[in-house]
Structure 1
Amino acid sequence: MLETLLPILIFAALALAVLGAVRRIRLWRQGRPARVAILGGLAAMPRRYLIDLHHVVARDKVMSNTHVATAGGFVSAAALMILVHGLGFDTPLLGGLLLAASTVMFAGSLFVARRRLDPPARLSRGPWMRLPKSLLAFSLGVFLITLPTIGVLPPGFSQGAGHWLLALVLAALVTWGLGEMFFGMTWGGPMKHAFAGALHLAFHRRPERFSSKNGHAGRSTGLKALNLENPEAPLGVETPVDFTWNQRLGFDACVQCGRCEAVCPAFAAGQPLNPKKLIQDMVIGMVGGSDAAYAGSPYPGKPLGEHHGDPQGPIVARQGKALVDAETLWSCTTCRACVEECPMMIEHVDAIVDMRRFLTLEHGNTPNKGAEVLDNLIATDNPGGFDPGSRLHWAADLDLPLMSDVKQVDVLLWLGDGAFDMRNQRTLRALVKVLRAAGVDFAVLGNEERDSGDVARRLGDEATFQSLARRNIATLSQYRFLRIVTCDPHSFHVLGNEYGELGGNYTVSHHSTYIAELHDAGRLAFAPWKGGKVTYHDPCYLGRYNGEYEAPRNVLKALGIDVAEMGRSGFRSRCCGGGGGAPITDIPGKQRIPDMRMNDVRETGAELVAVGCPQCTAMLEGVVDTPAEVRDIAELVADALVLESDSGRSKHRNQPAFEEVT
């Protein structure tokens, strides 16, 4: 009986899976075009899965091993099952391999089942609760029907009245497993992520994120520019079909593990954002319907079942019910913690900014002080609306060299809009002191410098960003310098990673990186640290966006400071709440993000928190009853400098070491 029934079941499931795949691909392809390397992407997919994806999954060793056993066992068992039971190649060797693969899958499935007994709050429930049972049914059923191929059971064991019942039970197990594993993989259900996830890795929006043959992965965090010169090009995303097709594919790849939810600062603060649900809402938008069946954590303060969408309808409606509320999008700090933690490498921030762009460019719908800040940027080239001619008033006594006078230098010091903030002016003065102590040949643009455009771009105003960027690029093209140095990670990121698409390619360094280089070169000497316990806060735009974690710590180590690390540091650092225009849009929650970060500081017992970002300084110093003093790394270095009069060492002169940058 089974000998006849199994091939029918297997190939029927495969046929249905193929039909489902065609249907799903057509759904994705309703989105806007996107250039991808079809053959190259498919060829690279196994490596991206085995190396890049598992590099993220491996942060949880137990689940990493569970995934290897379950997924690896399933892929092997499925392929061997088609050969042995579908095509009739039931040799003892293939049968033994199939038994081994199904055993490994069964073992992994037991760990999945154990996890689902009392799942963490971040895991979605609903259909996902049946997945362990389906995995166990598939692996156990395949194991039992394969035993005759190695002689454990006679080939005709399913014949006779007594064996018919056993045969039916085994057929039911296999059918159950095939339904979830094959049919459900393309028609919907927990295993959908396997099919969509594999193709998502192949046709990813940012293929440069993946490792190449030399084993090195790239870092791709810069937002992609809109084509503002083409009147037919869409200004952001209004409806689900306005996303590119491979973005829609990425949404379908979500495994609903909730790792993004667990690290999202806005969700933790009780603001109406949950990155996992946002991605699931985008999936709902592809097919239409409501979020009533969503089985995970809702947006804080937003009950399930109240949001509806359809493929051609607006994602954010100006009136009536919508798929997503505008305040959900404006809650994001663009810290990329969700992207960093996502095992499927989904680009949440790209999607959020795409939707913000439509709200800002088409509707002018930027909440709270957003419109005022954008108007200031247009009128005065800075978000605060200050007189552009006052950018250097804080440095009237420093006699800073201007690029318009010197024309060429080793280092162009980019001041950023901290130049208008009294608190950050202390950081800038400290950095100038450090550069002069090291004999660095540097100059500033002065009143020629404009806002880098970071906040405009994150608020969705691509037009203002590109206007500011092109004018800055035109200014910079008049001068010659080796590198740009700035104490603002947001300017550092934009100048280094987002100006290139508009024609401005520069070597840009964060001031902590440059100070570390100067110290290593013997151009700076420090007096021993005599203060109390110090912790360090990683800025999102320095760490997660640009991978710089060690240089600030190396500078602190050179000062004699043994950093007391917070529980969330490095790539898992908690955002201060100052990025993505969040302080401007100011969406309320149950608590403030900087308050949570200072609680992290409090847990270390540190008396001082070292920072490397003006936004971080402003956010953390704004906490009431702060447990620690907040100081920029440049300030700590400036205080610890051992100058020529103190040490008797030869001081570096301000001599240019210019080499033209090609």
Structure 2
Amino acid sequence: MSVAVAVTVLFWVSVATLAIGLARRARLWRTGREADVEWAGLLAVPKRYFVDLHHVVARDPYIANTHIATAGGAFAALVLVAINYGLGLYAPVLDWAILLAAGVMLTGVYFVWMRRRHPPLRLSGGAWNRLPYTLAAFALGLALLTLVPSQTLSAGIAIAALALLLAGSAELALGIGAGGPMKHAVAGLLHLAFHPRPERFAGVRSTALSPLKLSNHDFGTRKPSDFLWTELLSFDACVECGKCEQSCPAFAAGQPLNPKKLIQDLVAGLSGSNDSAYAGRPYPGIPIGSHHGELSAAIVPKLIEAETVWSCTTCRACVEECPMLIEHVDAIVGMRRSLNLTQGEVPGTAPETLSNLRETETQGGHARAARYNWAVDLDVPIIEPGKPADLLLVAGEGAFDMRYQRTLRALVKLLKAARVDFAVLGERERDTGDTARRLGDEATFQSFAKRNIETFASLDFKRIVTSDPHVLHSLRNEYPALGGKYTVIHHTALLAELAEQGKLQLGKSPEARALTYHDPCYLGRYNGETEAPRALLRKLGIEVREMQRSGLRGRCCGGGGGAPLTDIPGKQRIPDIRMADARDVGADVIAVACPQCTAMLEGVAGAHAEVLDIAELAAASLEARP
């Protein structure tokens, strides 16, 4: 048998092995729940790969260029081998093209090897450490076969070349079936085609949780097979780069959560194995090797500890950083829903809060009529049926807090100064149900949402404004699935709009101290609003000292997802870490745009920067204006 024919045989054996492995893995994915998919997504893979995926990867130019060379060279080489050897053409000109592709691939592999010599802590080791060698073997094998003319190819060189090709082909062909590192190559492309949130590829910031069909006894994710099959597929796309781990506020604070480990645990549950093969950093305080999963067995606590699930602040930093576009938060909330709805297992003071919600429609057990006591001297109009208003101000649950009331009073003064036609709900306002939903209590959320939608339907208004990004997110993004569609705007966006239109005349801020701006997760990552707060600060003549983590990549304050209620202990508090970020840029003032951020950052012990809402800064400039 000639060397060329041997390569042809090896190619088709590899294709068959890959197909068998893919079929085996696909059977595991298909044990998940049915999901609506569009097969046209397969045609969209090139765009989603080269544009959407690489938009995230490009944040790290070293890895982006390395990946382009390695993956691009490998893909080109495989296509050319399929044509030249798979079809038995054996054309010398195609050999030269294969050699070029192998050279590009080998260049990329060199930089992969360099990265692995002194890897960042976030990278997983183990089987991933062999990739530079097996990929290099594949590229070198191709180079040998194409570089040396067949008539002068000695038996030794031929055997060496085929052995190298065999090693590299085994990594590629066996990866998907055996669950090796290279399974991400196939699973990743299919994940891009059948992503659980395909609207992400249409430029939509898709962040809303999908409602459970409670009447169909859909109570969340108890076992791996309760995930959508497209979610199970997405877990296999993980490349264990650890960018989610690096961005996770809970992991940084030493709480028992590592998003990368969580996804790999779910992969272990999918394949019915344990976590002993995991070669990355563990959950803080929880050793590796003591957990095991099965497709039809409960995830918590055999595979993942309950404390891990409850440590998440739902900030979506992991999702924002993931180069494979995996939806970690959806998975975590799905498990929370099961724990809450089927077992009633919610830690900390969360059960008391949920009980207050059901009994009083407020988180703190307050009388609803007391929500606007802070406005008794401001002559704030209350909306009534048949009495229209351009703008409906929804204060949110923080209106019972004296600190947040300062923000609301400042906002009202600004709206009055701009002669805005607005009104508040007064006694009609109840909690939006956002915290209940993040804590997994989907039944309470849906009940509140439906009652609020009925209330809104009886009133006449054009837009809703709120100072609470969590309220904003619920009303703007999550109520539509239940029939409530509204135009909702954050108070910083409204004030920036009014200032731009000349309706709100702002002077220069009297605040002369160094200032930084903290992006709320539910305003920035969830709703994409990072510019309006900064535009308003610029209108005030304030120069913002940006923290290293800001905008869509800002660090969480620790106040989301019900985290202050579940209160899972760690080595330090998340807001302390964020305050240290402000200290690093020499800020004396932190401008905020969320009541939960205000509460968390002001709760930092010891000397720290003053925390002021942007509405307070704007109102102060209004008063200082000559």
TM class, shorter-length? over 0.9
Cα displacement string for residues 131-182 of structure 1 (whole angstroms, at most 9, x for unaligned residues): 00011111111111122xxxxx433333xxxx21111111100100110122
Q: Deviations over 1:323-357 (max 9, x none)?
A: 00000000000000000000000000000000000
Provide, for residues 382-403 of structure 1, a one-character-per-residue CA deviation record: whole Å limited to 9, x for no partner.
1111112211212111221111
Q: Is 2:25 the counterpart of 1:45? A: no
**Cα displacement string for residues 56-90 of structure 1 (whole angstroms, at most 9, x for unaligned residues):** 00001111011111111111101111222232222
State the alpha-carbon separation in 1 of the partners of residues 93 and 414 from structure 2: 71
Give yes or no for contact 1:537–1:573 (8 Å, CA) kept in 2.
yes
Q: 1:6-61, CA deviations, whole angstroms, 9 ceiling, x for partnerless residues?
A: 111111111111001111111100001011012x1111111101100000000011
Pick one of 235, 245, 257 that aligns with 2:241: 257
**Would the aligned equivalents of 1:354 and 1:460 in 2 still touch at CA under 8 Å?**
yes
DSSP-derived class of the 1:509 partner: strand
Assess if the C-alpha contact under 8 Å between 1:536 and 1:563 holds in 2: yes
Q: Distance in 2 between matches of 1:405 and 1:505?
A: 18
Q: Which residue of 2 aligns with 1:272?
A: 256
The 1:400/1:529 distance shift into structure 2, 3 A limit, reads closer
Do residues 618 (structure 1) and 602 (structure 2) align? no
Kept in 2, the 8 Å contact 1:81–1:142? The answer is no
Cα root mean square deviation, aligned: 1.2
Cα 1:263–1:154 change in 2 (3 A) is closer
SS in 2 for 1:482: strand
Contact 2:509 2:620 in 1 (8 A): no
Pick the aligned partner of 2:204 from 195, 203, 218.
218
Out of 533, 548, 561, the position equivalent to 1:580 is: 561
Following superposition, the deviation at residue 524 of structure 1 comes to 1.5
Counterpart contact for 1:285–1:311, Cα < 8 Å:
yes
Q: Does 1:468 align with 2:468?
A: no
Map 1:118-267 → 2, pairs under 5 A = 118-147=118-147, 153-158=148-153, 163-211=154-202, 217-230=203-216, 233-267=217-251
Q: Provide the rounded CA distance (Å) in 1 between the counterparts of 2:123 and 2:386.
A: 59
Moved more, 175-184 or 466-475: 175-184
Tell me the residue number matched to 1:64.
64
Query: Which deviates more, 612-621 or 82-91?
Result: 82-91
* Residue type at the aligned position of 2:272: G
Change (3 A) 1:495 1:205: same
Alpha-carbon distance between aligned partners in 1 of 2:177 and 2:613, rounded to the nearest angstrom: 52
TM-score of the two chains, using structure 2 as the length reference: 0.98
The CA distance in 2 between the partners of 1:234 and 1:526, in whole Å, is 51
Alpha-carbon contact 2:395-2:408 (below 8 Å) kept: yes
1:134 is paired with a residue of what secondary structure?
helix
Q: Which of 590, 614, 618 in structure 1 is aligned with 2:571?
A: 590
The one-letter amino acid paired with 1:562 is E
Question: How much does 1:506 deviate?
Answer: 0.3
CA distance in 2, matches of 1:3, 1:204: 39
Amino acid at match of 2:243: R
Tell me if 1:608 matches 2:592.
no
| 1:654 paired residue number | none
Indicate conservation of the 8 Å contact 2:385/2:460, yes or no. no
Q: Give, in whole Å, the separation in 2 of the partners of 1:399 and 1:413.
A: 14
- What SS class does the counterpart of residue 109 from structure 2 fall into? helix
- Aligned twin of 2:520: 539
For 2:151, the aligned partner's letter is G
The unaligned stretches of length 5 or more in structure 2 are none
Query: Contact 1:535 / 1:565 at 8 angstroms: preserved in 2?
Result: yes
> Residue 653 of structure 1 corresponds to which residue in structure 2?
none
Q: Distance in 2 between matches of 1:130 and 1:637?
A: 57
State the shift of 1:405 in Å.
Answer: 6.4
C-alpha separation in 2, matches of 1:583 and 1:360? 17
Aligned 1:435-514 pairs, distance under 5 A = 435-514=415-494
Q: Given residue 243 of structure 1, which amino acid in structure 2 is its aligned partner?
A: F
Cα distance in 1 between the residues matched to 2:393 and 2:109: 56
Aligned-pair distance for 1:314?
Answer: 0.3
Whether 2:299 is the aligned partner of 1:315: answer yes
How do residues 299-378 of structure 1 correspond to structure 2 at under 5 angstroms? 299-317=283-301, 322-378=302-358
1:288 match:
272
| Shift, 1:5, TM fit | 1.7
Cα distance, 1:555 vs. partner?
Answer: 0.5
Read off the aligned partner of 1:628 and give its amino acid letter.
Answer: A
Identical aligned residues as a percent: 58
Q: Is the 8 A contact 1:598 1:626 kept in 2?
A: no
Cα contact 1:45–1:198 (8 A) shared by 2: yes
Aligned counterparts of 1:41 and 1:204: Cα–Cα separation in 2? 9
Q: CA separation in 1, counterparts of 2:177 and 2:290? A: 28
Which amino acid is 2:27 matched to?
Answer: R
Q: Distance in 1 between matches of 2:80 and 2:176?
A: 18
C-alpha contact 2:509 2:617 (8 A) present in aligned 1:
no
Deviation at 1:407, TM superposition (A): 2.3
Query: SS at the partner of 1:295?
Result: coil
CA–CA distance in 1 between the matches of 2:463 and 2:68?
Answer: 45
2:316–2:329: 8 Å Cα contact kept in structure 1? yes
Instruction: Give per-residue Cα distances to partners, 1:523-568, cap 9 Å, x unaligned.
Output: 1122223321110000000000011011000101100100011111
Looking at structure 2, the residues matched to 101 and 477 of structure 1 have their Cα atoms a distance apart, in angstroms, of 62
Instruction: Give 1:627 shift.
Output: 2.1
What is the Cα deviation at residue 234 of structure 1? 2.3
Contact 1:14 1:183 in 2 (8 A): no
Question: CA–CA distance in 2 between the matches of 1:133 and 1:178?
Answer: 12
Change (3 A) 1:630 1:168: same
Aligned 8 A contact 2:25 2:176 in 1: no
Quick one: distance in 2 between partners of 1:500 and 1:9? 54
**Superposition map of 1:494-573 within 5 A:** 494-530=474-510, 531-573=512-554
- What is the distance in 2 between the residues matched to 1:407 and 1:176? 76
How far apart, in 2, do the equivalents of 1:627 and 1:357 lie? 37
CA distance in 2, matches of 1:630, 1:10: 63
Measured in 1, the distance between the counterparts of 2:177 and 2:119 equals 25
Task: Give 1:504 deviation, angstroms.
Answer: 0.3
User: Retained in 1: the 8 A contact 2:386–2:460?
Assistant: no
How many positions carry a matched residue from both structures?
A: 624
Shift of 1:113: 0.6
Deviations 1:182-210 (A, max 9, x none): 22244321111010000000000000001
- State whether structure 2 residue 608 is matched by structure 1 residue 632: no
- Residues 37 and 203 in structure 1, CA contact (< 8 A), matched pair in contact too: yes
Q: Structure 1: how far apart are the matches of 2:99 and 2:304?
A: 47
State the match for 1:24 in structure 2.
25
